[in-house]
Structure formats: C-alpha cells, structure tokens
C-alpha cells in the first residue's frame, strides 16, 4: 500500500501543470517522490527546457500549430509555459493571443485535450454554485468570462470562445504577475447560433440554439451571484459578449462586484492612450481634433465615451466634445431619427438638418465634409477605410491619425501599408493586430487590462470607475517613447507598463472613492507580489 501511495503521488505531481517540473525535478525530489523511471535520467534546468521547447515550437509549420503547441504546454507545465512566453514576449504574444487566438477559437474543439477553467452550461444551471465550490479554486483572484457570441471579428464560436478567457489570463500572468493558480477562465455555454458548430461531430459545447431573453438574464444572474458569494473580492472581466449584452451586463453588474468589460472599457483605454500619444506628435491639442469612428458597437462607443472624458478633462465643454466625434455604422453616419440604436449612439448622433445634402452612407463623402483629423475603425469590416475616404482625409490634414483596430488581421478596416501609401507617408497608424509594417503601432488591449486589473486589486477598489480607465490611458501615453515613430512602449517592457498603469489606476481609485482612502498606492518598485515563473522545491 505504501508503494502504491508513492506511485500515485508521483503521477499526481507530473499530471498537475502547477506542480509538474518535468526533467527539472532534482535527484533528491526524484528520490523523495518516487519519480525515478517516470522521467528520463537527465536532470535539467528551466533554461534548458525553454531552449528545447523553443526549438520544437519554431519547427512547426504555422502559427496555428504553434498556438496548439503552447496550449498543450500550458496544460502540462505552467511554469515552463509562462517562462517560455516571458522569455520573448514580442514573439510569443501573437501566438498566445491576437491574431492566432482567433483560429484557436474557431478550431477549439479540434485541439481540446485537457480541462482548463470552467464550462458553465445551461443544462447545469442549477449546479453553478456547487461547481464553483471546488477547493482547488480557493485562491482565485481574477476571472475572465465569455459566452462566446462575438469572438473578435469571427462571430459566434460557442464553446470555442473559451480560447479568449484562457488567452487573456495567460497575459494577466505574463504582464501583471498574477499567479497561475489565482486566475480562472470561464465560458458561459448557453448554446450557439452557429449551425456549423452544432452540426460538427467534434464540437465540445452544448448543441442547442442560444438561450436568450429572460432565461439568459436569469442564467447570468445565477452566475454572478454565485461568483460574488464564492469570491467577494474577485475581479471579473467580461469578454466578447455581443454588443447589446455587453452594455447591459456592464451597467447591471459594475457596482455589484469589481468588474469591467474589456471590449468596451479596455479597448477604450488602450485606444485613447495611443491617441493621446499620437496627438502629441501632431502639434495640435486634443481640443482641436475631429473624430470619425467607423463601427458604432460596444468597442467604438466605448472609445467615444472615454475620448469625450479626456477632452472634458482637457477643458472642453462636454457637448462640444461630443460634437467633435461622429459615429458611422453599417447604415452610414449615425443621425438622430434614422439609425440610433441606443444611448451610446444617441450621444453622438448628428442632427438631420446638419447633414442635409450629404451622402451619409458614403464614408468618403462624410470624411470630405467633416474633415476629421482622427479616423478609428471598430467595425470588423475589411476594407471599410477605402482609398477615397483616406485620401479625402489626408487632403485636409497634415498628419492624419488612422487606427483600423478590428481583429483579426483579415477583418481590419485597411492594411497599414495602403494607409501610408494613400497619405504619402504622413499618416500616424495604429492597428489592432500585428501587420509587421515598420512604424505602425499595435494598439492591443494587453497594454492596459493587466495593469487595470492589478491596480484595482492592489488598491482594494470596490468598483472600476471611468476615472480609472482615463488614468490608465494617460499612463499608457506617458509610457510611450519620447522619440521615434512608436506610439506605445515596446512589447518587451509590458511588465513595466502594467506596473505604471496599475499605479495610475490605484491612485485614481483612491482619489475618486472607488477604493478606501489610502495615501499610498502601489510601491513604485517592482512589486514582490508579481509572480515570476521559477520552479519551487516540490
């Protein structure tokens, strides 16, 4: 029986990605836990394992296979996975998250191997509290949750949407130093309206059309109530919910537990931070800018709202700030009485008399008449920034700022090389996904959401306020290189950026009452609480 228990403990060590060290188990640990024979005799180091895995990774034929390789490594050995990712963040980020995560979500069922996170499905709606009660989850501090309905620009991916919470939380660890045992990805599986998934024999999700209406709301309420009871101080990040649900759930729950929507608020903070840096390169103040946002959904309206706050903080009247921004959706320029869908669009809707005689469905005509200095894309529509519109913008603006932010690359509103060509190289360009074009910033949420989460948790905040997002945007702009074409800090400084954002967010939380009064924010030195991947003695 003793030998049986030893062998069981040995296999448990190797099977748990949080305790498995592979060949890095020392000779003494192999003696103590009966690991001899289960491992090759070589006693390795973490550095040697990184080199071995890096060689295997680069030998694979394409980025999707590299993504699948890294996902399997994460499910096998978390320390090695995070050490490999952090050894070369600029190389690894596109593989762990955008743009490759889109294909990872689309083919999630094909590569699913081992449990990670929780699938809370409609058939198990009465078991949610019991599922969350697992003692293995006692240390959870950060949850990222999605229902898989609006994954990047790919639409409804059902259970495959779990790739988004998994990827986001890998970045919480890489950038904000949150321990892997303290993060929890969750997929709310309420079915899918993607018939191809429901008909796919490999699909791992609940094969049913999406639950909607009151039943959907009741399901989410059960989930939130169970989370709040299980972890009263947890940070909950909403990801890739469809636009209408994204806004509703944010407003319904942002004061009930510490939570934010990354598509709305994280995207806004990142975009506004990059815009502040870009505006600083033009020689014109924020109050002198005119903005057209193509895509009037959650992301675009989130950017607009935070941009208005930034303009007001710079001294503009709020009504004037809103007048400086226009929204353009699939039905054209957002105009009162025509295509206003909600409160967010209403704030930016133009008066019909103002646009009389305009071809409001033609972006080029709208640009020629409005003469914007900033053009932002969150539409998910490839090619939405046509040559005529961009040339019309460049004709009236010396340094046009053009941000096609939609992900993945195939859904970007324009290719940055075209934007530079159409503006004779004068455009300041930022994109949502990496294009590999020199001087083009990747306006990726990874620059802010880890720091926002870290700052909110470290400050003891009770809610994530709008002021905390504006503070994050300003901190990001301040971290931008003082010279050169780059609008954002280099990716290999993401931990420093996360800490700077966290400090600003914590200070804002204390200042506006979102966190208890405290004269001290996060220590400016690197926080000892930021986890660094290293093997501990077993």
Catalytic residue chosen out of the listed positions 168, 203, 447, 535: 168
**Extended strands (E) in 96-249:** 118-121, 142-146, 183-189, 235-238
Catalytic residue chosen out of the listed positions 67, 97, 253, 535: 97
The answer to whether 241 and 150 are in contact (CB under 8 A) is yes
In 10 A of CB 526, how many CB atoms?
12
- Sorted by sequence, the CB contacts under 8 Å of residue 520 that are 6+ apart come out as none
In whole angstroms, what is the distance from residue 451 CA to residue 476 CA?
10
Distance of CA 321 to the CA centre of its chain: 27
Cα-flanking dihedrals φ and ψ of residue 472, to 5°? Answer: -65, -45
Angle, CA 162 vertex, CA 159 and CA 464 arms, to 5°: 125
In whole angstroms, what is the distance from residue 307 CA to residue 22 CA?
49
In whole angstroms, what is the distance from residue 406 CA to residue 377 CA?
6
Give 153's Cβ-side CA count (13 Å radius): 22
In whole angstroms, what is the distance from residue 164 CA to residue 443 CA?
17
Q: Is-catalytic flag, 97?
A: yes
In whole angstroms, what is the distance from residue 312 CA to residue 316 CA?
5
In whole angstroms, what is the distance from residue 276 CA to residue 264 CA?
18
The answer to whether 412 and 233 are in contact (CB under 8 A) is no
The DSSP code sequence of 17-28 is TTT--GGGS-HH
Query: Would you mind telling me the total number of residues written for the chain in this entry?
Result: 538
Q: Which of 275, 272, 325 is nearest to 295 (CA)?
A: 325
In whole angstroms, what is the distance from residue 322 CA to residue 247 CA?
19
The answer to whether 457 and 279 are in contact (CB under 8 A) is no
In 10 A of CB 58, how many CB atoms?
9
Q: Hey, what are 253's tokens?
A: 């729950």
Active-site residues, by number, are 97, 168
């Amino acid at each position: 029986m003793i030998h049986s228990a030893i062998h069981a403990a040995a296999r448990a060590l190797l099977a748990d990605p949080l305790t498995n060290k592979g060949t890095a188990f020392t000779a003494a640990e192999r003696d103590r836990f009966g690991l001899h024979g289960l491992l090759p005799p070589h006693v390795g180091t973490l550095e040697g394992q990184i080199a071995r895995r890096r060689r295997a990774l680069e030998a694979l034929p394409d980025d999707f296979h590299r993504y699948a390789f890294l996902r399997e490594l994460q499910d096998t050995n978390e320390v090695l996975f995070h050490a490999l990712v952090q050894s070369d963040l600029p190389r690894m980020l596109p593989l762990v998250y955008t743009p490759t995560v889109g294909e990872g979500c689309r083919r999630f069922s094909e590569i699913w191997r081992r449990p990670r996170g929780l699938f809370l499905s409609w058939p198990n709606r009465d078991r949610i509290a019991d599922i969350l009660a697992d003692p293995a989850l006692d240390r959870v501090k950060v949850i990222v949750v999605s229902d898989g309905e609006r994954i990047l620009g790919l639409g409804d991916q059902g259970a495959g949407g779990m790739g988004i919470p998994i990827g986001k939380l890998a970045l919480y660890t890489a950038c904000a130093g949150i321990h892997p045992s303290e993060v929890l990805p969750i997929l709310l599986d309420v079915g899918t309206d993607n018939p191809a998934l429901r008909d796919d024999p490999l699909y791992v999700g609940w094969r049913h059309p999406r639950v909607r209406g009151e039943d959907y709301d009741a399901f989410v309420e059960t989930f939130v109530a169970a989370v709040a009871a299980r972890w009263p101080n947890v940070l909950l990040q909403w990801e890739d919910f469809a636009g209408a649900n994204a806004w509703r759930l944010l407003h319904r729950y942002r004061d009930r537990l510490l939570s934010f929507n990354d598509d709305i608020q994280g995207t806004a903070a990142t975009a506004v931070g990059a815009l502040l840096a870009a505006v600083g390169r033009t020689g014109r103040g924020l109050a002198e800018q005119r903005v057209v946002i193509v895509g009037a959904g959650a992301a675009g309206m989130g950017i607009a709202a935070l941009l208005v706050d930034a303009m007001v903080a710079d001294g503009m009247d709020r009504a004037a700030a809103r007048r400086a921004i226009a929204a353009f959706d699939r039905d054209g320029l957002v105009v009162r009485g025509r295509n206003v869908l909600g409160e967010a669009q209403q704030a930016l809707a133009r008066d019909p008399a103002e646009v009389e005689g305009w071809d409001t469905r033609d972006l080029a005509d709208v640009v020629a008449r409005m003469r914007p200095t900033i053009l932002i894309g969150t539409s998910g529509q490839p090619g939405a920034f046509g040559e005529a519109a961009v040339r019309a913008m460049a004709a009236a603006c010396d340094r046009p700022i053009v941000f096609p932010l939609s992900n993945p690359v195939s859904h970007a509103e324009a290719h940055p090389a075209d934007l530079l060509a159409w503006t004779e190289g004068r455009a300041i360009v930022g994109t949502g996904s990496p294009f590999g074009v020199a001087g083009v910033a990747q306006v990726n949420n990874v620059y802010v959401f880890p720091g926002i989460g870290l700052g909110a948790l470290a400050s003891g905040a009770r809610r994530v306020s709008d002021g905390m997002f504006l503070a994050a945007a300003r901190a990001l702009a301040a971290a931008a290189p003082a010279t050169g074409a780059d609008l954002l800090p280099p990716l290999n400084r993401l931990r420093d950026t996360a800490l700077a954002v966290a400090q600003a967010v914590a200070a804002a939380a204390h200042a506006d009452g979102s966190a208890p009064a405290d004269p001290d924010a996060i220590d400016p030195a690197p926080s000892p609480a930021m986890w660094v991947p290293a093997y501990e003695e077993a």
